[in-house]
Structures are given as structure tokens and as C-alpha cells.
Amino acid sequence: MVNSIYYTFSTIPQVLAGAVALFGVFVLYKIQVINSQLIGLGDALLREVSPINDKGRIRKYKKILKDNFIYIERLQKAIYRKDIIGIKRWIYSIVDEVQKFDSTKTDVNLSNHGKRTVGNHKKQFELIEKYKKGLIITTICAITWSSLTILYTIIILPFTEKIKDCPNIYFIIGIMSLAVALFIMIIIIIISLSKTFKYEDFVTKTWQDYIDPIIEVRKKLNNSNESSLLKIMNSGQIDALQRLIEKVVKNVKNAHHIFDITSQLKNNNCDERIDDMIGELRGATYLINERHKNIEYHKETVDFTSMLNEKKCAIEMKFLRGPNFKNQKRVGTKLAYKFDPDPVKRNIKNKVENGYTQIYNFQTVHSDYQGIIIVVTNRLELDKSWFGEDIDKFRKQLETEKKVKIVILPDDNNIYQ
């Protein structure tokens, strides 16, 4: 019995000493990785506000930071020295100056999106530094507990003869302390290995983060004063656009890809592509309101897939644009005109044909999906008050021909509702 007690309490400190040594090496390595990430954030901010090959941006931030442009030089020196405290100080200083800048009082154009892009570096730094501090605190706790366990076993060893008659309680304390120490270290290692820092971890994107890049590109293209989107941003409908974007982003998987259109915006098609995007947002809102589940946006194949009443749905969105009330025909020999629905019907049919092709191709691979085509429009005459019940008859006729569900979403005096 004495030998067993002695062997047990001499083995525990050896095991813990080896575990602490390995654990210490791992934690030191992890802290080095974290410090490299923090240095990388400083370098990323430096490239954002003072890129080597972009003299225009350098001049821009010189005007924004003014006398505090020296912060950039100090950040550069802190990065060179790998001074984490200095990097933190100058990142925070630069971000705070940019956030305070009021572009309305100068000729420097700094959008809210630009401010948030710079501000994200501070958020990233805060999150990573918080994780680093938590890792250090839990490491200290694990090492402290291990040290106390080792101390306890060393104190027990000289008294093995005296405790041979009642060893159970001492065994339990020693083994439990060993188990707790090892458990803490293992948990820290597992969490550290599984912890990765993604962009989404740092930033909670607002609705403006999605739409601002599109607005910035549209402003630089021809006839920006005729853009419906820019008019809306300067009107009372901006709140409706905000609600629309927030609702879709919250309820639709991969909804952020709906806004990936900046590279597609050219002078000859920019407003059409933006209208298509708005159509997809309005169509997605319709799906949400109709209680579709598992709505997912696709960049390829069909626009959306969803579940409705346990049935899989493949959905195509089509935007029907055009001037309002231009489809008129003369009545008799008099100078009188009335609304002619036939051209509008042809336009709708063309959109349905196009959407049906996409759904048909999708269904050849996924035959268990039912098709839905949603035609979104800004044409006021498609409202029943103008078009009459004839629009429903026409829609049902197309449904019978194509064997898909067809939805027509006309303008309701607020295209973004």
C-alpha cells in the first residue's frame, strides 16, 4: 500500500510537469500567431489609407487626417518594430480621426461605407485582442492549478507512512486535481485549434454596407441624375429600401450575393442591372411573406430555391421595366386613346418564357422541384385598377401553358415595399 501511494503521488507531478511544458509551448506558439494577425491588421489599415501606388488616396487621407497624418508614419514604425501596443494605439487614433471627419464641410468625398471599412480594422483588433487576453487568463489558471496540484503531491509524499491506513481521500484529491488540470489544458487547446477569425466575426454589416458600393459605382457612371436608386436614396423611400434589404438579408441564405453586381455595372446597362437586383429583393420579400422556408439565393441556375408546405420550389425572378401608360391605341376616328393591354401581355409573356427556360433546365436535374416565376414590375398600369381582372385570366392562361406557378408583382405606389 505504501509503495502504491508513493508511486501515485510521485507520478502525478511528473505527468503534470510534462503536460504544462507541452501546453506552454503550444500557447506561446498560438500567441505568436495572434500577434502576427494583429500586426497584419495594422499593415492592412496602412494599405487602406496610404497605399504605395495610389497617390490619389494618399492625398485624400492627408486632407482627412490633416496634422494627424503623422499617425500613419508612426503606425508604420510600430509595425516594423512589431510593437503590438504601438500598433493598437495608432490604429485606434487613425480610425477615430476618420470617424470624426465630416465630408460635407470639405471637398473630400468620404462615404459612410468608406468610414465603416476603416473602422472595421479597429473592431477586428478589439476582437482578436479580447481572445488573446482570454487565452492568457485561462492559461494562467491552468498552470496555477497544475502548480498547486504538484505542490500538494510533493507535500503528501513524506507522509505516505502515516496515511497508509486511510489513503482514499488523498487519492481522490490527487487524482481529481490531476484530472481538472489536464481537462482545462485540453479544453484550451481544442478551443484554440478550432478558433478562426473570419471577416463576419469582426463586423456586423448594416444594410448600407450592401448597397453603398453599388451607389458609389452608379454615381461615377453616365446620367447619374436619372438613376432611380440615387433618387430613392435622396427621398422618403430610403426607409422602405432599408427595411427591404434588412428583411431579405435576415431571412434568405446567401442573400449577400444579390448585391454582387458592381463589376457588372456599365454605362449602357447599369440601371437595368440595378432594377433586376431590386426585383430579386422584392421577389424574395414575397417569398418570405408567403411563408416559404429555407429560402436560398443562387448565383447560378435558378434565382432562388425554397420549401413551401413540404414541397421544394425553384423560383425565377424577372423584372419588367418600361415607361408607364405608353401602350395606348386610338379609339375610332376621334382623337381619343385608351389603354392597350396587348403590348404589356407580350412583354410579360417574354419574361415568363425566359424564366421558364431557366426552371426547365433546373428541373431536368432536380425533377422534384416545382417551378415558380415571379414577374416584378414598376409599371403602374399592371395594377388591377388599370388592367382589370384580365391580368388574372392572362396569368392563369400562362400557368396552364407552362405548368408553373406565375406571380405578377405590380408597383403599389412604393416599389420597395
Residues 186 and 280 in one domain: no
Residue where a domain terminates, one of 201, 216, 238: 201
Structural domain of residue 102, as residue ranges? 2-201
417 lies in a domain? no
Residue given cell 487626417 in the structure block: 65
Residue where a domain terminates, one of 177, 201, 225: 201
Compare 321 and 82 and report the one with higher pLDDT. 82
The pLDDT assigned to 305 comes to 93
Residues 190 and 237 in one domain: no
Residues 287 and 394 in one domain: yes
Residue pLDDT, tens place only, 125-169:
888 888 888 888 888 888 887 887 778 777 777 766 666 665 566
416 lies in a domain? no
The pLDDT assigned to 325 comes to 47
Compare 94 and 383 and report the one with higher pLDDT. 94
- Asked if 57 and 49 count as a contact pair (C-beta separation under 8 A), the reply is yes
Residue 201 clears pLDDT 70, i.e. is over it: no
218 lies in a domain? yes
- Cell numbers standing for residue 168: 482514499
135 lies in a domain? yes
Residues 389 and 243 in one domain: yes
Residues 353 and 249 in one domain: yes
Tally the domains of the chain: 2
383 lies in a domain? yes
Residues 260 and 194 in one domain: no
Reported as a pLDDT band with limits 50, 70 and 90, residue 287 is very high
Residue 36 clears pLDDT 70, i.e. is over it: yes
Residue 296 clears pLDDT 90, i.e. is over it: yes
Reported as a pLDDT band with limits 50, 70 and 90, residue 122 is confident
- Asked if 161 and 2 count as a contact pair (C-beta separation under 8 A), the reply is yes
Residue where a domain terminates, one of 183, 201, 219: 201
Out of 80-84, 193-197, 370-374, least confident range: 193-197
CA-nearest of 293, 238, 273, 295 to 112 is: 238
Residues 161 and 296 in one domain: no
Q: What CA–CA distance (Å, rounded) separates 375 from 283?
A: 8
23 lies in a domain? yes
Residues 157 and 241 in one domain: no
- Asked if 91 and 79 count as a contact pair (C-beta separation under 8 A), the reply is no
Residue pLDDT, tens place only, 254-283:
998 898 888 888 877 788 888 888 889 988
Integer Rg of the chain from CA: 33
Residues 190 and 118 in one domain: yes
For residue 165, the tally of other CB atoms under 10 A from its CB is 7
Using alpha carbons, list the distances in angstroms from residue 244 to 200, 231, 240. Answer: 21, 17, 6
The pLDDT assigned to 165 comes to 61
Residue pLDDT, tens place only, 40-76:
888 888 887 876 656 666 777 777 777 777 888 888 8
Please give the average per-residue pLDDT across 367-393, as a whole number. 72
Q: Which helix (H) or strand (E) is 5 found in, with range? A: helix 2-49
Residues 214 and 169 in one domain: no
Reported as a pLDDT band with limits 50, 70 and 90, residue 284 is very high
Q: What CA–CA distance (Å, rounded) separates 328 from 116?
A: 49
Residue 252 clears pLDDT 90, i.e. is over it: yes
E strand segments, 220-366: 293-297, 304-308, 311-320, 328-330, 337-339
Residues 196 and 209 in one domain: no
Residue 417 clears pLDDT 80, i.e. is over it: no
- Cell numbers standing for residue 24: 506552454
Residue pLDDT, tens place only, 319-357:
887 655 455 454 455 544 555 667 777 888 888 888 888
- State the sign of the Cα–Cα–Cα–Cα dihedral 125, 127, 128, 134: positive
Residue 15 clears pLDDT 90, i.e. is over it: no
Residues 232 and 262 in one domain: yes
